[in-house]
Amino acid sequence: TSSVSELSSIYSVLILQDNEEFCLSLRRRKWEQRRKNLRSLMMTWALVFLTKMVL
């Protein structure tokens, strides 16, 4: 039974590690998406500003 409990604890650690990596990749993806949204918003503001200056 000792080997079974050792295997189950190793398996638990691997699952937790995978879950942490998955959460980190989700956070990374969200930040990248926010950065893209911010960049496109800034470009829109720049276009509006430049258009108002020309008119």
Where helices occur in the chain by DSSP H, the ranges are 2-54
Task: Using alpha carbons, list the distances in angstroms from residue 24 to 15, 21, 37, 52.
Answer: 14, 5, 20, 42
pLDDT the model gives residue 2:
62
Domain boundaries, the chain: 1-55
> What pLDDT digit, counting tens, does each position of 6-51 carry?
888 888 887 877 778 888 888 888 989 988 898 899 999 998 988 8
**CA 11 distance to own-chain centroid:** 26
Q: Which tokens is 17 given?
A: 């590690």
